[in-house]
Structure 1
């Protein structure tokens, strides 16, 4: 029987009515596979995944396919967001087997979990035929399948184990220049981003490129970052009507997205656009942040202050059938009826023409000219056109709210919540909107009360009032980063103490001294067929790179040499091996700590918080800030507080200048 109806994952519940006898991944299911000596089908996806829905409809809802699966296999459904450890392990397997990956991810394994075959999306006929061939082979010649499984397992282990390496050469900053030059060759000079499709936003790439360009006065690089951020904001990728970004664009011009909206993308993009606003004061960037946070507040925030995971790509169309993008797209006739007399102008702004056409007479709104240019061309003031655009968006919003909304993935993940928490803090830094800080503090309170157990471990998942699944390294690393961010806007040292407590827990339960890296899963958890060390930055930075960045800051705040030694060892392993910098951008961001531009700033005195606000509104990625309005025992601030003075200490590589008495006297924070 299908056993998924007792699960809480929205993705698993989507499959609860399939004729397939789906089971969840647990000790009982694995024991059953071993006892029955049956091959396992491990099928992995997530609730907002369009092609997961397609394969479900075409294959897993089909009685013939279900009959084959039920007769010969133990079939397990997995939500990759709940179990990123299992997903990472089997993703390595199919990448070895096929040279590519993606979701849905489907593998067939021996009863002990070692994979023998796999891929992504399969049509029903191919799926059934392959399963029958695999079952026949396992029945008639199991030795051949076991031999292949052993070789594949060895391959998975070889790419999973971290071999300690130390560069014989000094890690010098000039190693960066050839990497950047190589990276530039893949830039799209017309629409920004990388010159390929599909286009993923990869916020961490632009976080690094922006900082590198800023510190090295590389105007070409900064122009490219601004081009990318502008084109992403103009494209259908960004929902100009209600805020929020979709996961990626299927085309080169950021026009047609895969329409799912993920919390982790939007949290990082709020941070990125907030930083870009601090550097440029571009009002477009502020608009993007404000709209996105409004969307998060309306659609993805719980009464407890937690954040839901995602909105689906699919929604019910007029015929009550699930269709990708149905909620978001428009026909020309619909738009004409809504916009009326202003339609000709609307066409110019949002390209209701060949440039903005998607398919089947549907349009996805996209801009290719700024408001200033269009206002001048139409003899309007900029404010007039901005007001018209705002009114059009409100009209479309009201009309769209009458449609069936995309399905909500209403589980809460600690790691993703931490990303969004950091996004709110970064928005507060840039815009000093108290609402953003209140949102961040409420979320932090939720995570501490619900997701942080009294024995020190974090929970990964929260749903229906219940915390489940022992936390992964990503939960600790990203929450530690969020707590440090809260300290950076409040100077409340409890956030640093929380971050240090989480970090020390990770050293006890995740750290592998031989490799100098942290494993993805806790030593308390049952190990899978191969260990997993997350080191390559992707749409979310690698948990090891996040932890390394945290350790660097904490080593300064607490003057902890062990933390800094650990960071050095990690960088010595990673940096010399970098070939494709886009996969290591968060490591490269950390590597900039050794540049001549790096500073630490201590702000002490009765006006420390107000001075901090002024500092936080500046783009100073090269500066680590600490401070206090009173005497403190924080090592970095020791003996730097004077009761009747406001003092500013600028430090470089553990050496500090004499204190200044006014912020205006500090002249060397900016490159």
Structure 2
């Protein structure tokens, strides 16, 4: 247990109440952030605070001047970051206190997750909770000794004065506390190399899922709590588990969750796409920011669920989510932007959360005329859909069939009426002030969206999605991949400046491999493999048997982090472990399987009590305990057969194909000029070839 330095350090770690941000902009001041490309950092470029971006030179100057670092971390779509900016960082009095006594560093957490991880762990140790904006005061070498999230002006000034005095008058105790805290930050990130562990069994997995299921909200979906986050890796694993193990009760829960999320206000019924999370239990009122990473992962999830169920609602969600991303987040060169802000200008010209998305009953009635009556029922313009200040957030609570029966009309007619109504609302909404766009391009988030597009093409058979995927894949190849097959983390205005992290490699490797499976273009397979091998060389830690989050080419921080817990985005190591297992199936002599097995053993002790926090890892338990198939397709008709087979949900498989013979061993000596053959193999040992999708699926037990 880390001892507290003083009561002050505990009392100062507080999260305070809320306020609204006005649209106040001043350019009386300009700081070093004006040279950055991150929209979040540029938002602070005209604060009177002498902000600087994180870099080794700034830390060296802090040591030379013997000033503590004041590190403030946030992101462009963060509502409370905007609030604190107005109240504190735009204030002259606050700026004077900060500039005279601290070296002030602003960090975009989306650009620098490596730094954010460390200081988020620090504040969790100090206070037991965290969030953004994340404000840390640290020694000049980066070791933290105080932290808080949102703090209003008076408390902020008071806190900084006490911290300044403490550093000046009792520095030895501050240093001791920072040293103890740094030890704690490192201790909670250790991973033990467990070479003597046995493999996690299916019986153990069943027990873990049973324990996990105690938290299921089987009526409203998700978990029995608020706020509710969409957890694509959680529902994605449970879809896999329910399907391959014939667990109808788990499948029903997944369907309930996906349906309620699609019905909820968290899904933008007017413009498509999902917001970040819901503040309530019924998925109704979102935190209105829209993030690329959510929409990429949810595109994959709903496409897979559609493949299993053929539920038209899931198909509609995929189509409208991709429509939103294409319209709002796609760069002309094929990259995808990061997010839309939660805040936008209301009718009074003030920034207000959700102003772009909400409706009053009077406005809806005036716009929709005679169709308002049925629309009101369909989208709950009643107590169920009411939010605040006379505003409603559209939310469904009944199926099309229920509403159509109530009003005595055909389901098709109902859908046409609702589509027409939503079209009217979209045209009206486009006249409102739009949410601010974070137009930086992040590699890992693009990887998630690329995988989403590939899955959408695979399961919905829409050629447009493959075209979008290829455009994005070529953008990444041109702008993000360096000559040595290392990656950049970021891209904006033609510039890339930050070395990529493990999550960037993991998601691009996964996406390129998926792209190969639907195109059989070995270019994407080879690129993916080169990225994988680069990652092995520069990120793998032989001591722990797992990958670091940062490359050995990056500047040192107070900790070289290891990411294992799956959160709203799967842990970079869990994605890598799956990548390694799949690459082993195509390149069995490279040692990839041994790495994947070891990584799984190193984390599996957590599965019993926290399956939901390791959901993406759990796919590997199914892969390793059940048959995993290499499906090889060779012959003139290889692309058509591959397309047919891959449109089925086959999670325990990987596809390879070529007209004659591809470069990988699995495709060698299998060509027959008279027919296209499908080989179903396990570890290179194959069943007798077949010539049709139906025969192949029969061999798979489908």
TM more than 0.5: yes
8 Å Cα contact 2:285-2:387 kept in structure 1:
yes
Does 1:589 pair with 2:589? no
Tell me the secondary structure at the aligned position of residue 468 of structure 1. Answer: coil
Tell me the secondary structure at the aligned position of residue 291 of structure 1. Answer: helix
Offset of residue 64 of structure 1: 2.5
Does 1:379 pair with 2:415? no
Cα deviation code 1:228-256 (max 9, x no counterpart):
01110011100011101001111110000
Give the number of aligned pairs. 671
What residue is the counterpart of 2:266 in the other structure?
Answer: 237
Of 563, 567, 586, the match for 2:592: 563
What residue is the counterpart of 1:416 in the other structure?
Answer: 445
Offset of residue 561 of structure 1: 4.8
8 Å Cα contact 2:31-2:48 kept in structure 1:
yes
Q: Quick one: distance in 1 between partners of 2:514 and 2:485?
A: 21
Does 1:324 pair with 2:353? yes
What residue is the counterpart of 1:643 in the other structure?
Answer: 673
Moved more, 361-370 or 638-647: 638-647
Q: Quick one: distance in 2 between partners of 1:640 and 1:515?
A: 41
TM-score normalized with structure 1 length: 0.98
Offset of residue 150 of structure 1: 0.6
Of 366, 369, 382, the match for 2:398: 369
Gaps of 5+ in 1: none
8 Å Cα contact 2:644-2:693 kept in structure 1:
no
What residue is the counterpart of 1:117 in the other structure?
Answer: 146
What residue is the counterpart of 2:656 in the other structure?
Answer: 626
Does 1:41 pair with 2:75? no
Offset of residue 649 of structure 1: 1.4
**4+ runs of 1 displaced by more than 6 Å?**
none
Of 476, 489, 492, the match for 2:505: 476
Offset of residue 661 of structure 1: 2.8
What residue is the counterpart of 1:262 in the other structure?
Answer: 291
Q: Quick one: distance in 2 between partners of 1:594 and 1:164?
A: 19
CA RMSD of aligned residues (A): 1.2
Offset of residue 654 of structure 1: 4.2
What residue is the counterpart of 1:486 in the other structure?
Answer: 515
Offset of residue 119 of structure 1: 2.1
8 Å Cα contact 1:623-1:669 kept in structure 2:
no
Tell me the secondary structure at the aligned position of residue 530 of structure 2. Answer: helix
Q: Quick one: distance in 1 between partners of 2:595 and 2:75?
A: 35
Cα deviation code 1:11-47 (max 9, x no counterpart):
0111112221211111221122111101111000000
What residue is the counterpart of 1:533 in the other structure?
Answer: 562
Alignment of 1:608-623 (within 5 A): 608-623=638-653
Gaps of 5+ in 2: 1-29
Q: Quick one: distance in 2 between partners of 1:443 and 1:109?
A: 40
Offset of residue 638 of structure 1: 2.0
8 Å Cα contact 1:3-1:23 kept in structure 2:
yes
Q: Quick one: distance in 1 between partners of 2:111 and 2:678?
A: 45
Tell me the secondary structure at the aligned position of residue 626 of structure 1. Answer: strand
Q: Quick one: distance in 1 between partners of 2:647 and 2:307?
A: 6
8 Å Cα contact 2:371-2:421 kept in structure 1:
no
Of 479, 484, 496, the match for 1:467: 496
What residue is the counterpart of 1:514 in the other structure?
Answer: 543
Q: 1:168 to 1:411 in 2, by over 3 A?
A: closer
Does 1:395 pair with 2:390? no
Alignment of 1:76-475 (within 5 A): 76-475=105-504
Cα deviation code 1:641-670 (max 9, x no counterpart):
222222121123443212123322231324
8 Å Cα contact 1:415-1:479 kept in structure 2:
yes
8 Å Cα contact 1:167-1:573 kept in structure 2:
no
TM-score normalized with structure 2 length: 0.94
Q: 1:355 to 1:545 in 2, by over 3 A?
A: same
